[in-house]
Amino acid sequence: MAKTIDQHFDSLRETRVWRSIFRSGTGSSTLKRALAIQQNVFLHLFSTKVRTRMLSVSATWYLGTLTLGTFLILVATGIPLMLYYHPSAPQAYADTKDLQFVVSSGLFLRNLHRWSAHAMVFLVFAHMFKVFYRGAYRPPREFNWVIGVVLLLLTLLLSYTGYLLPWDQLAYWAITVGSNIASAVPVIGGKIHFLLLGGNAVNANALLRFYVLHCMILPLTAIFFVAIHFWRIRKDGGLYSHGSEPAVVRAQAASRSATEIPGGEKEAQ
């Protein structure tokens, strides 16, 4: 009898080759679902089970997830854009124009990259405020908050370095203004300005430095800190754990004092 497609897939999943790659396979049993997380190199940061309350949209508005999403979109659009871009002045401007008019899907990629960048900056701020108002920075999560601030600064720097790359009037003067602010730092300001630009003015050296910062140094640093950020969330007990919000803390305190009966069960014998 002829097999259905599903049956073909099932027998494929029984083969040795498949089993050697995907060890535990799919399935809807609790075990299989737990293994899907635990045995996956990308996902085993998660615990196999989480509190149901973590799913609620109102808890986080999924802002952290969305920020990660924009970052992934930026990497996925940024790398193809690198294939048609020469980081030399004024070739960079011609390349940006080429991307918009000549390269297939170039305009779309550039647009998506730009709007995702704006979205990421906005979402990162929104995420920070949401975490603050939820009180999710309280001990033991203090240092993760600091990591978050570092990630905020990295996001702003990534956006700033990327801003120069089209080498148009908007880019050139925005970066000139910005780097002149950096030179306002007392004592070392001039040095910072010189090192940042690789010179005294925004020229070919500056473009190349900003390109390397934008495409290599800052993304790697960001990924490094994102990894720490996620790790600490997991180690601190995951999202929405007990004792992480003032409302819960107060409710617990209230219930404790309410059920305390003198000489009762809660006391030791």
Partner 1 sequence: MAEETKRTDDVSRRQFFTKLGLGSLSIAAVGTAAFAYQYLEPNVLFEPSPVVNAGKPDRYPLDSVTLDVNSGIYIIHSEEGYFSLSAVCTHLGCLTAWKPELGIIACPCHGSKFSVSDQAKLKPGEKIEGPAPKPLPWKRIWLNDDGDLLVDRSTDVPAMARDSFVRV
Partner 2 sequence: MADSKDFIAGVDSNAKKSPRRIVFVTRRTSAQVKVETEDQIQTFPEVLFRAAVAIQVLAILLIWIALFFNAPLEGLADPSHTPNPAKAPWYFLGLQEMLHYFPPVVAGVLVPGLVVMALIVIPYFKVNIEADGLFLKDRTRRLRIFYVVASLLSLFLLFFKVYAALVPTLIMAGLMLFAAQSSPQSRSAFRRYLAGRPLSYWVMTWFLFELIVLTAIGTFFRGPGWSFVWPWQGS
Task: Enumerate residues 109-138 that contact partner 1 by CB under 8 A.
Answer: 109
In whole angstroms, the minimum distance from the beta carbon of 88 to partner 1 comes to 13
Which of the choices partner 1, partner 2, none does residue 78 contact, using the CB cut-off of 5 to 8 A by kind?
Answer: none
Residues in the chain, overall count: 269
Binders of partner 2: how many residues, by CB under 8 A?
Answer: 90
| Binding of partner 1 by 103 (CB under 8 A) | yes
C-alpha–C-alpha distance, residues 113 and 18, integer Å: 37
* Token pair of 211 as six digits: 């390109």
Which of the choices partner 2, partner 1, none does residue 47 contact, using the CB cut-off of 5 to 8 A by kind?
Answer: partner 2
* Token pair of 72 as six digits: 């992934």
Selection from 170, 174, 187, 180 nearest residue 201 by Cα: 180
| Binding of partner 1 by 98 (CB under 8 A) | yes
8 A C-beta contact, residue 120 and residue 77: no
The per-residue b/e assignment along 14-53, b for 16 or more CB within 10 angstroms, e otherwise, is: eeeeeeeeeeeeeeeeeeeeebbeeeeeeeeeeeeeeeee
8 A C-beta contact, residue 177 and residue 229: no
| Binding of partner 2 by 47 (CB under 8 A) | yes
Selection from 57, 61, 217, 185 nearest residue 125 by Cα: 61
Q: What does each C-alpha distance from 232 to 134, 142, 242 come to in angstroms?
A: 17, 10, 16
In whole angstroms, the minimum distance from the beta carbon of 35 to partner 1 comes to 20
Which of the choices partner 1, partner 2, none does residue 49 contact, using the CB cut-off of 5 to 8 A by kind?
Answer: partner 2
Q: Draw the binding track, 207-246, toward partner 2 (x: CB under 8 A; -: no contact).
A: -----------------------------------x---x
Q: In the range 124-163, which residues lie near partner 2 by CB under 8 A? A: 125, 128-129, 132-133, 135, 137-139, 141-142, 145-146, 149, 152-153, 156, 159-160, 163
Which of the choices partner 1, partner 2, none does residue 41 contact, using the CB cut-off of 5 to 8 A by kind?
Answer: none
**Residue that the structure tokens 């617990």 belong to:** 252
Which of the choices partner 2, partner 1, none does residue 103 contact, using the CB cut-off of 5 to 8 A by kind?
Answer: partner 1
Q: What does each C-alpha distance from 218 to 2, 136, 214, 257 come to in angstroms?
A: 55, 26, 6, 51
**Residue that the structure tokens 């800190």 belong to:** 225
Q: Which of 64, 106, 166, 219 binds partner 1 (CB under 8 A)?
A: 106
Which of the choices partner 1, partner 2, none does residue 83 contact, using the CB cut-off of 5 to 8 A by kind?
Answer: partner 1
In the complex, the residues that contact partner 1 under the rule CB under 8 A are 80, 83-84, 98, 102-106, 109
